Amino acid sequence: MTLHRPMSTSDCNTVAKVNATHVTYTNRLYIFAKKFPIQTANDASMSISCSYPLSVNIALNVSLRPVIGTTVLNDVTGNGSYVAAMLAYTDNTFTTPLSDSNPLTVENKIYLSVLIPDLDVKTFKLKVVNIYASPTNSSDKKYNLLQNGCPGSDVPADQLTVDSNGVGTESRFAMKVFKIANSNAVYLFADLVLCTNNCATNCSSTQSKSDVSQKIDGKVGIYLDAWA
């Protein structure tokens, strides 16, 4: 069982503790046994916690040359700005950053995170609208991996899968490594928006897939070197 919930101080008794490098949110999860028609198991409870680095750079100290891109987004009110980062990881726990010295071969799986570490989750949510690949940094020729929050039409259905998007300060994806014909270079770009409420896309809705009117607040990108 996997539970997803944005961490926010005082929300359902969530407590935040901050040290020199990380903020740790703690709470207690209660699972109540079914009581009808008879109760055959005890209620259960467990402590839960999530730790986040206060700085993206701290999280990347374990990697000599991490695969990372950053950009600055203005919020929808025009009164503030935030640094958004796009990172690649080697594991589905998003704890081991991919280094540019890590060999990548076609069909390897990597994990992409787009996050704004200091975004106020009570006010804004981060959404990745599009992810596309290009053999050059100019992105003139692009292949859509994610379109309007849903897997794109230019690649197989399992090329990119959405873990979470539009519900908090971080969006997560799993991607199979691929090559673009006649090139080992793969530039990945993500179009970002800041929402004032949950803005996850229902990919089972044909209308949501075809909605291309969403205003883009910024773009962030990373570079991958893939081999067959």
DSSP 184-199: SEEEEEEEEEEESS--
Do the bridges between strand 218-227 and strand 104-105 make them parallel or antiparallel, or are there none, so unpaired?
A: parallel
Q: Which residue matches tokens 């197989």?
A: 156
Measured in whole angstroms, the distance separating CA 174 from the mean position of its chain's CA atoms is 9
pLDDT at site 4: 67
Q: pLDDT value at position 73?
A: 87
Terminal-to-terminal C-alpha distance of the chain? 35
Q: Which residue reads 């890590």 in tokens?
A: 102
Question: What pLDDT is stored for residue 210 in this prediction?
Answer: 45
Q: Classify residue 108 by burial, with Cβ atoms within 10 Å: 0-12, 13-18, 19+.
A: middle
Two structure tokens written together for 15: 């407590």
Q: What is the pLDDT of residue 165?
A: 94
CATH number of 56-227: 2.60.40.4100
Average model confidence (pLDDT) for the chain? Answer: 82
**Could you report the per-residue pLDDT of 139-168, keeping only the tens digit for each?**
678 899 999 999 987 788 789 999 999 999
Length of the chain: 228
Q: Which residues contact 152 (CB under 8 A, 6 or more apart)?
A: 130, 131, 132, 143, 144, 145, 146, 160
Going by the DSSP 8-state scheme, the letter that residue 180 receives in this structure is B
3-state secondary structure of 223: strand
**Domain boundaries, given as residue ranges, for the chain:** 10-54, 56-227
Residues in a beta bridge with 74: 81
Which parts of the chain have pLDDT scores under 50? Answer: 207-212
Pairing of strands 125-134, 185-195: antiparallel
Helix, strand, coil in percent for the chain, rounding step 5: 5, 45, 50
Whole-angstrom distance, CA of residue 51 vs CA of residue 58: 12
